[in-house]
Chain A
C-alpha cells in the first residue's frame, strides 16, 4: 500500500463508492459496465456480455432512404399493373386507406405501372426480382433478405420518419441509435459509439431532424455523432489555427493538474471521469483523421465502390467510411440519403437517386463479405414508407409521380444473423396491400403480428434482437413509465433470422 499513489487510491475508492451508490438506485449492469470501461462489456472475442442473449450481430449499418423510395420501381415487381395502365385503382384495393392532402383532391387514382425492366435474380430461395435501377445491388441478391411487407401508419414524412427512427410519431423519444448506444455501450475508446453520416443527393428535398439520432429524454451522451464530409469531420475536432497537437498536450497537462487539484478538494468522481474524456478527445483528434484518410485503400476497393467513393460526402464514400468504422469497432452506423420523395418526376429523380446508392450498397455488402465481417454486421436498407400504386399528377408512359404509401413497402436486411437470399411477405397485384401466402388481402396492425408482415416496430424489434437485445426488456424509465423503442408493440421476426 505504501507504494500506492494516494491520489490513485482515493480515485479507486471514490469511484467504487460512487458505483455502490448508483447500484443501490437500481442501475443496470450494462450501465455499470459502461462506467467501468468497455472491457467488462466485451470479452477478448469482442462478444457483448451485457446483452440479453448471444447476439448474432456485433454492429449495425443502417442505410436510410429518406423520403420513401418507390417499392414499385425498385423491388416489388407487378407486371399485371401494365394491363391496368391509367385505369382507376379499384375501390376494393384502396379499401379505405386514407390519402394525403396531395392526392385526395385528384379526380382519379390512375394505376401507374413501373416503366422499368425487372430481372429475376437467383437467391437462396425462389429468386428475387430486381429493377434495372439497382443492377449492382442485384448482384448481391444472394445476401439479401428482401421484405415486401413492411408497413407503418404514418402518411407524412415528419411523423413517419420520426416513427421509424424513434418508435413514436411525435418528437421526444430516443432514437434507435440512442437505444443501441444505451444498451450496448461502446467498444472503441477513441471513436464515438454511434456515428451518423449524411450522403449527398441531387434531390435533397426532405427534412431531417436532430431527433432522428437524438436521445429524447435519455442522457445526451447517447446521441449520434455526425461524421461530416465538409469542415471538421466531427464538430470541433480540429485545433484552432495556430495550435498544434503538442500545444494541446501542454494545455491538457495543465488542465489535468487544475482538475486534479479540484478533485483533491471535492473528491467528486465526475472530475476524474472528465479528465478521462479530455484524454479521449485528444486521442480522437488522431483517430478520426486516420479514419477519414482513404489513402491506404487499395485500387480494388475503389473499383468495388466506384470512383465516386473518392468524392467525400457521396453515398459511396459514406459506405466506405461505414466499413472503416465497422472495422474499428463502431457499433452503430447510419447513413441518411435524402431525395426519395418523388411526387412528380419519379423517373428522373429515382434514376439519379439509384445511381447515387446502388454501387455503394452492393460494394458495402461485398466488401464486408470478403473481409469476413458480413456475418457479424447487420445491414439494413429502407425508408419511412413506400409510394402509391396510382399516379400523382399527370400519368404518361415515360413520366409519373407517386404519393406516400404506408400499407406496404420494401426493406432489405443482410448479414448479421439474417437469412441470406430470401424474400419475405407478399403484396397484391398493385403492391397496395399486404396479402397472405394465398394472395388474400390482409390488414395487419401494430397491435398483433401477422405472419408474413413487418410493422416498423417489428423491424426495430428484430434489429435489437440480432444485436442481442430483447426489445421488451430494454427499457428506460421516464415519467414513471418504462419506455421502450417499440412502445408496447413489436415482434421479432424469426423467419428472417438464420
Chain B
C-alpha cells in the first residue's frame, strides 16, 4: 500500500484526522471521560497541526500568545490567560475553541478542530493543562520488554493482546527463506542454499541461514541502495548540463562499509568528517563524498554566491531528513512553524557546511575539485589493500633483517665485516627485489586510479550570516558560529566548531533522534513500513510510532551494541513478528499492519525486479563496483532533453557483460534516470528520499513484458530451464522454485501448461516469428535448442517474471 495510505488533503479531511488521533479518540469515546490525556501523544500534535501556524515557534509579534510552551500558554494576556492554572475552567482556550461568534481557530482557517478534538483539549486543560516535550526530542531510555523471550515479539505481543489478536502462524519454510534472502541480499536464495536450509533439521537452521546471507557480499550491495537513496547519490551533477560526476568510489565504499559491518556511528562520522580525522585513510576520505553529493550547476551566467547558498541549503536540509528525521526547509526563511528550530539555528547548522573548499559552481567537470585518486572498483580496492599490506610487511621484514645484520656488523671483527661486504646477505637482496616488484605494482595500480569528489575544509572559514527570507543576497545580523540544534543537545565546550563535532553530536548516545531515525528505517526495510510511518518526519507533524517503547528499545539496543547494523537486522529477522505469514487475516482489524499482526508484504523495488530476472536467467554479472553501467535503453531519451553541450547527451549502451551488472550499478543520470527504474518508483536522486512510493500502473505492465532486457532475460531463463530439465513439469518446478522457492500449485500448473500449449502451436506454425522473439537482446541464443520450444518457454518465463510471484515480497 505504501505511501498512498498517507495522502492527506486538508480540505477534505477535516473530519478525517491522522491515524494516531483517530485511534486515540476512538478509545477516549469509549473509555471514561476522566482518562488522563497524554499531552505528548494526543495534544501536542493537535496544537502543532492546528494552532502553531499562528501560536507556535514562528508566531508573529502581533500575536502575543504562544501555545508551544506552558509558560507561553499561561502568560497573562491582559487579564486573562489561555490556560489559567488558578481557574482551569475559566481558561480562555476553552472559551475560544467553543465560541460560536469568535472561534479559534478562526472561521477562515484552513484547519479546524473537530468536536472530539475540542473535547480532548478541554479535558486536557481541566486536568491541569500540563506540558511535556515532544516524544522525539526526549532521548530514548532503555526499557524492559513487557515479557521474556524475543524483545521485539514481547512488545508486539503486548499490543496484539490488547486487541485480543494472536500472532499469525509462521510462514512456511520456503516462503520464509525467500523473504529473508530478498530482504537481506535483494536476491532469492541460491538453489543450493535453499536446498541445504530445507534439509537442515537442526533447531537453529533458520539462524544459520540468516548468518549465511549476512555474510554474502550481495548483502552490502542491496543494503547500500537504501542509503544511496537517502543521500541522493547520482553519477551526474544534476542541474542544467547535468554532466558526468566522478564519485562512484563513494558508492563502492558504502557497499564495502556495510559488508564489513562498519559500526553505523563510524559510518556517519567518516561521511560527514572523514577528512577531519587524524591521519585520515583513503577510505575515510572517500566517505566524505557524502558532503559533496548535492546537485550542482555551472549554468552560464549563474551567480556563484547564489549557488553557494543553495548548495548549503541542500546539505543542511538533507542532513535534517537523513539523520534527524526533520524537515528543515521552513527555517531557511523563518523560524519553523511546528518544530523548535529557529531561523538562526538553521544558519548555525548550515555554517558547518559553509567551510568546504569546493567552488560553488561545478565547472561542468567530472573531477570537480577537491578530488582524490582511488582504486576504481572493488577488486582494485582489494588488490590495493593487499599491496599496501605487502608493503608494510616488507618494511617490517627489512627492519628486522637490517637490525640483525647491523648487530652482526657491530659484533663482528674486521674479518666478518669484510665478508659481509664481499658477500651481501641474500635475504636482503630478495627483499629489495620484492620491494621493487611491489613498487611497480603500486605504480601500476595508481595509474589506474580514478577520481572521486571529497570534502576539504577551507583554511580560512567563510562567514555565515542569517539570510533574510532565505535570499542569498540578504545576509543580516552578526556572523554566526557553527552550532547544533539546541533542542537536541549541544557541542561540548571547547570542541572545534567543525563537521567532526557535528558528526559526534549526531552519534552521541544522548542525541534524541538519530538512533531512532536510523533504527526506524532499518525496520522499514525489514517490515516494509516503519514503526514511525513517516520516516522523513519525526517532528510534531509526523506520525506517532506504532510502538513507541519498541522504537526506543531498539534505538538504545543499537547504541549499546556498538551501532552494529547486522546485529539489528539479525534481531529483527529472527523475531516471530517477521516470520509471520503475510496473508491478510480474516477478522483481524489491522488493514495497515499497524499492529504488525502479519508478516511483511510489498512490491519489490525497481532494482530488485531487474536483479531477480538477471539472476534467474544466469545472466547476472557478479562484478562489483566501478563506473555506472548503461544497459539497454530506448534511443534518444537523453538527447531529447539534454543541452547540446552536455556530456550526458548521448546514451551509449555498454557492451558485453556490463549490461548484466546488478542494478545498483546502473548509471544514474539525475535529470533522466533509467526509465525502468523510474517506472517502478526509484527516486531521481535530485533530493533525499527515505521512503519510496510503491505505485501500480499500466506502464509498469508494458515495461515488464516488452522491455528488451526483460525479454532477453526471459529467453535466457527459458534456455536455462530447457537445458537443466528435461520435461515441462520439471521445468515448471525449477521456474517456480527459482522465483518463489516452491513448486507450482495445480491451478498454476494448469495455467502454465495451457499457455505453453498455445505458444507451442503458435510458434510451430511460424518459425520466423519465433526467431524474431529469440533474437531480442544481444546474447546469442543457443542454436542447439528447438526453436518452437525455446520461443514458447520464453513466453512462459516472461509471464512468470511479470507475475506477482516475481514482483512481490511475501
Chain B residues near A221 (CB-CB < 8 A): 693, 695-697
In the bound complex, how far is the Cα of B639 from the Cα of A230, in angstroms?
A: 12
Partner of A253, one of B300, B711, B755: B755
Bits for B790-809, please: 1 = Cβ < 8 Å to A, else 0.
Answer: 01000110111011110110
Chain B residues near A265 (CB-CB < 8 A): 583
Closest Cβ–Cβ distance, residue B612 to chain A (whole Å): 16
In the bound complex, how far is the Cα of B304 from the Cα of A156, in angstroms?
A: 12
Chain A residues near B503 (CB-CB < 8 A): none
Are A235 and B751 neighbours in the complex by a CB distance under 8 Å?
A: no
Residue of A at shortest CB range from B3? A219
Are A277 and B799 neighbours in the complex by a CB distance under 8 Å?
A: no
Decide if B106 is an interface residue (CB 8 Å cutoff): no
Are A158 and B699 neighbours in the complex by a CB distance under 8 Å?
A: no
Bits for A8-46, please: 1 = Cβ < 8 Å to B, else 0.
Answer: 000000100110111111111111000000000000000
Decide if B327 is an interface residue (CB 8 Å cutoff): yes
Partner of A237, one of B6, B636, B702: B702
Chain B residues near A84 (CB-CB < 8 A): none
Question: Which listed segment binds A: B514-522, B555-563, B670-678?
Answer: B670-678
Decide if B125 is an interface residue (CB 8 Å cutoff): no
Partner of B8, one of A206, A236, A475: A475
Decide if B545 is an interface residue (CB 8 Å cutoff): no
Decide if A303 is an interface residue (CB 8 Å cutoff): no
Decide if A4 is an interface residue (CB 8 Å cutoff): no
In the bound complex, how far is the Cα of B542 from the Cα of A476, in angstroms?
A: 13
Decide if B537 is an interface residue (CB 8 Å cutoff): yes
Chain B residues near A261 (CB-CB < 8 A): 745, 747-748, 751
Residue of B at shortest CB range from A35? B4
Contact A482 B752, CB 8 Å, known A102-B301, A158-B297, A205-B644: no
Decide if A232 is an interface residue (CB 8 Å cutoff): yes
Question: Which listed segment binds A: B11-19, B191-199, B437-445, B481-489?
Answer: B11-19
Chain B residues near A307 (CB-CB < 8 A): none
Interface centre among A103, A216, A246, A254 (most CB of B within 10 A): A254
Q: In the complex, how many residues of chain A place their beta carbon closer than 8 angstroms to a beta carbon of chain B?
A: 108
Chain A residues near B238 (CB-CB < 8 A): 171
Closest Cβ–Cβ distance, residue A241 to chain B (whole Å): 4
Decide if A259 is an interface residue (CB 8 Å cutoff): yes
Are B4 and A250 neighbours in the complex by a CB distance under 8 Å?
A: no
Chain A residues near B372 (CB-CB < 8 A): none
Chain A residues near B12 (CB-CB < 8 A): 28-30
Closest Cβ–Cβ distance, residue A157 to chain B (whole Å): 6
In the bound complex, how far is the Cα of B699 from the Cα of A223, in angstroms?
A: 11
Residue of B at shortest CB range from A249? B758
Closest Cβ–Cβ distance, residue B28 to chain A (whole Å): 15
Contact A25 B582, CB 8 Å, known A231-B634, A262-B805: no
Residue of B at shortest CB range from A207? B643
Closest Cβ–Cβ distance, residue A434 to chain B (whole Å): 20
Are A242 and B771 neighbours in the complex by a CB distance under 8 Å?
A: yes
Decide if B295 is an interface residue (CB 8 Å cutoff): yes
Are B11 and A209 neighbours in the complex by a CB distance under 8 Å?
A: no
In the bound complex, how far is the Cα of B301 from the Cα of A404, in angstroms?
A: 9
Decide if A270 is an interface residue (CB 8 Å cutoff): yes
Interface centre among B240, B473, B694 (most CB of A within 10 A): B240
Contact A235 B703, CB 8 Å, known A473-B110, A480-B539: yes
Are B642 and A207 neighbours in the complex by a CB distance under 8 Å?
A: yes
In the bound complex, how far is the Cα of B341 from the Cα of A481, in angstroms?
A: 14
Decide if B601 is an interface residue (CB 8 Å cutoff): yes
In the bound complex, how far is the Cα of B748 from the Cα of A262, in angstroms?
A: 10
In the bound complex, how far is the Cα of B803 from the Cα of A29, in angstroms?
A: 31
CB within 8 Å: A-B pair count: 339
Bits for A170-197, please: 1 = Cβ < 8 Å to B, else 0.
Answer: 1110000000001000000000100000
Partner of A280, one of B643, B698, B748: B698
Question: Which listed segment binds A: B87-95, B150-158, B571-579, B680-688?
Answer: B680-688
Chain B residues near A209 (CB-CB < 8 A): 242, 641, 671-672
Are A101 and B301 neighbours in the complex by a CB distance under 8 Å?
A: yes
Chain A residues near B755 (CB-CB < 8 A): 250-251, 253-254
Are A27 and B696 neighbours in the complex by a CB distance under 8 Å?
A: no
Chain B residues near A290 (CB-CB < 8 A): none
Residue of B at shortest CB range from A169? B310
Are B696 and A241 neighbours in the complex by a CB distance under 8 Å?
A: no
Q: Interface majority SS on B: helix, strand, loop or mixed?
A: loop
Decide if B303 is an interface residue (CB 8 Å cutoff): yes
Are A25 and B695 neighbours in the complex by a CB distance under 8 Å?
A: no
Those of B699-725 within 8 Å (CB) of chain A: 699-703, 705-708, 711
Decide if B350 is an interface residue (CB 8 Å cutoff): no
Are A250 and B759 neighbours in the complex by a CB distance under 8 Å?
A: yes
Those of A217-269 within 8 Å (CB) of chain B: 217-221, 223, 225, 228, 230-232, 234-244, 246-248, 250-251, 253-255, 257-259, 261-262, 265-268
Chain A residues near B671 (CB-CB < 8 A): 207-211
Decide if B592 is an interface residue (CB 8 Å cutoff): yes
Those of B1-50 within 8 Å (CB) of chain A: 1-13, 16-19, 22
Residue of A at shortest CB range from B706? A236
Decide if B290 is an interface residue (CB 8 Å cutoff): no
Bits for B568-606, please: 1 = Cβ < 8 Å to A, else 0.
Answer: 000000000000001110100001100000000101000
Bits for B769-806, please: 1 = Cβ < 8 Å to A, else 0.
Answer: 11111111000000000000001000110111011110
In the bound complex, how far is the Cα of B688 from the Cα of A171, in angstroms?
A: 10
Partner of B240, one of A157, A238, A476: A157
Closest Cβ–Cβ distance, residue A64 to chain B (whole Å): 13
Residue of B at shortest CB range from A161? B240
Chain A residues near B127 (CB-CB < 8 A): none
Residue of A at shortest CB range from B773? A242
Decide if B338 is an interface residue (CB 8 Å cutoff): yes
Closest Cβ–Cβ distance, residue B623 to chain A (whole Å): 27
In the bound complex, how far is the Cα of B689 from the Cα of A96, in angstroms?
A: 39
Decide if A442 is an interface residue (CB 8 Å cutoff): no
Partner of A473, one of B10, B240, B754, B808: B10
Chain B residues near A215 (CB-CB < 8 A): 693
Closest Cβ–Cβ distance, residue B137 to chain A (whole Å): 14
Chain A residues near B475 (CB-CB < 8 A): none
Bits for B300-318, please: 1 = Cβ < 8 Å to A, else 0.
Answer: 1111000000100110000
Residue of A at shortest CB range from B680? A220
Partner of B678, one of A22, A223, A274, A477: A223
Are B301 and A403 neighbours in the complex by a CB distance under 8 Å?
A: yes
In the bound complex, how far is the Cα of B7 from the Cα of A30, in angstroms?
A: 10
Closest Cβ–Cβ distance, residue B31 to chain A (whole Å): 19
Chain A residues near B689 (CB-CB < 8 A): 217
Contact A234 B699, CB 8 Å, known A255-B803, A270-B603: yes
B interface residues, Cβ below 8 angstroms from A: 1-13, 16-19, 22, 110, 238-242, 295, 297, 299-303, 310, 313-314, 321, 326-327, 329-330, 338-339, 473, 534, 536-537, 539-542, 582-584, 586, 591-592, 601, 603, 634-636, 640-644, 646, 670-673, 675, 678-679, 681, 684, 686-687, 689, 693-703, 705-708, 711, 745, 747-748, 750-752, 754-755, 758-759, 762, 768-776, 791, 795-796, 798-800, 802-805, 807-808, 810
Q: Enumerate the 8 nearest inter-chain pairs by beta-carbon distance, A residue then B residue, closest first.
A: A480-B541, A21-B591, A242-B773, A100-B301, A172-B687, A28-B9, A257-B751, A171-B686
19 A-B pairs whose Cβ atoms sit less than 8 Å apart in the complex: A22-B591, A98-B303, A101-B301, A156-B299, A171-B670, A204-B644, A205-B644, A207-B642, A207-B643, A210-B678, A235-B702, A235-B703, A242-B773, A247-B759, A250-B759, A254-B796, A273-B696, A274-B701, A476-B8
A interface residues, Cβ below 8 angstroms from B: 14, 17-18, 20-31, 52, 98, 100-104, 155-158, 169-172, 182, 192, 198, 204-211, 214-221, 223, 225, 228, 230-232, 234-244, 246-248, 250-251, 253-255, 257-259, 261-262, 265-268, 270-271, 273-274, 277-278, 280-282, 284-285, 403-404, 470, 472-482
Given A210-B673, A218-B693, 12 other A-B residues pairs in contact with their CB atoms under 8 A: A24-B19, A158-B239, A170-B313, A171-B238, A219-B693, A220-B681, A220-B697, A239-B705, A258-B799, A262-B803, A266-B810, A476-B8
